[in-house]
Amino acid sequence: MAQQPNPKLTRRLLILTLAFGPILILWGSLTVTIPSGHAGLLFHTFGDGIDPEEQPMNSGFHFKAPWNKVYEYEIRQKERQEKLEVLSSNLLKIEMDMTVFYQPDLKNLGLLEIERGKNYEEKVIVPAMRSVAREVIAKYLPEEFNTTRRAEIQSEIDERMREKLGENYLQLNDVLIRNIRLPRKLEEAIERKLQQEQESLEYEFRLDKAAKEAERMRIEAEGIRDYQEIVSRGISQELLKWKGIEATSALANSQNTKVVVIGSAKDGLPLILGDN
């Protein structure tokens, strides 16, 4: 005879099913997990949608009402590179590569979603890069890009990009300007000009060196002349005779030398001969 089911056990299982069944069915809509490097915006279906004043959800596990939605946003730094063609102040075409590093401003993430949407890169980043590059480059001549003003140009682009992105709830981390390409004829003209400037500097250096050497020789000659004048004023005929007598006496007293003194011309010094 088959065993009859226990009414109490059946009733308990039914109660548990009715209590936890909906939770298990709706579990996916009651919870959300935000990945690392992302943040979540809660969309209130029966409210006003996204509240820009509400703090975004951090990465991790969260509960929510089953009728609400969560929009995930990547908040890590991103990179965007564009090849741009702009005009200089004299209307010559300049080609350049611009790279920007940016990320959403977390505290204004709600406003970014409401006013710009997830496709903000195409709506904000790219137009800002083109606009700022044209605006800044139009102030300068092409030859200034290869001088010390290049740092000034990049600094101005960085400042203007920071303003543009800040107005659109984005944070700029860095801007790189690379591979500036000028018209070929202009590059050749700039190279010739730089070469001529180097040659001019080298010529000026040689002239300066020659002038300094001439000045040194002049000073040296003046010194020799002054020395000779001083010495000539201090030497008299009597002094020369006295020095000759001293030398003759020293030689005459030498044990290794036979000295023969032969008188010379009038008032001249003796002539001294020796066999050693």
In a domain, 7, yes or no: no
In a domain, 6, yes or no: no
What is the DSSP pairing of strand 78-87 with strand 93-104? antiparallel
> Tokens representing 258?
């036979």
**Residue finishing a domain among 26, 52, 74:** 74
- The answer to whether residues 222 and 250 belong to one domain is no
pLDDT, mean of residues 94-112: 93
- The answer to whether residues 208 and 260 belong to one domain is no
In a domain, 4, yes or no: no
Q: Centre a 10 Å sphere on the Cβ of residue 136 and count the other Cβ atoms it contains.
A: 21
- pLDDT of 221-244, one tens digit each? 888 887 777 766 666 666 666 666
> Tokens representing 231?
């010495």
pLDDT, mean of residues 79-104: 91
In a domain, 2, yes or no: no
The percent of residues in the chain predicted with pLDDT above 90, rounded, is 33
Structural domain that includes position 189: 185-234
Where is average pLDDT lowest: 57-66, 71-80, 164-173? 57-66
> Does residue 85 surpass a pLDDT of 80?
yes
pLDDT, mean of residues 91-111: 92
Instruction: Read off the pTM.
Output: 0.60
CB 178 within 8 A of CB 154: no
pLDDT, mean of residues 133-149: 85
Q: What are phi and psi of 266, to 5 degrees?
A: -60, 130
CB 272 within 8 A of CB 260: yes
In a domain, 21, yes or no: yes
Where is average pLDDT lowest: 10-14, 95-99, 167-171, 263-267? 263-267
> Does residue 94 surpass a pLDDT of 80?
yes
> Does residue 150 surpass a pLDDT of 50?
yes
- The answer to whether residues 178 and 87 belong to one domain is yes
- pLDDT of 189-204, one tens digit each? 666 776 777 777 788 8
- The answer to whether residues 95 and 132 belong to one domain is yes
- The answer to whether residues 175 and 82 belong to one domain is yes
> Does residue 121 surpass a pLDDT of 60?
yes
- The answer to whether residues 156 and 199 belong to one domain is no
- The answer to whether residues 84 and 171 belong to one domain is yes
The pLDDT value recorded for residue 226 is 75
CATH of the domain at 114: 3.30.479.30
In a domain, 93, yes or no: yes
> Does residue 91 surpass a pLDDT of 80?
yes
In a domain, 3, yes or no: no
- The answer to whether residues 48 and 96 belong to one domain is no
Q: How many domains does the chain have?
A: 4
Q: Centre a 10 Å sphere on the Cβ of residue 100 and count the other Cβ atoms it contains.
A: 24
- The answer to whether residues 178 and 190 belong to one domain is no
- The answer to whether residues 91 and 173 belong to one domain is yes
In a domain, 5, yes or no: no
Can you tell me the distance from the alpha carbon of 128 to that of 135, in angstroms, rounded to the nearest whole number?
10
Can you tell me the distance from the alpha carbon of 264 to that of 245, in angstroms, rounded to the nearest whole number?
13
> Does residue 213 surpass a pLDDT of 80?
yes
Based on C-alpha coordinates, what's the Rg of the chain? 49
The confidence band for 1, taking pLDDT boundaries of 50, 70 and 90, is very low
- The answer to whether residues 108 and 162 belong to one domain is yes
- The answer to whether residues 83 and 69 belong to one domain is no
> Tokens representing 204?
């000026």
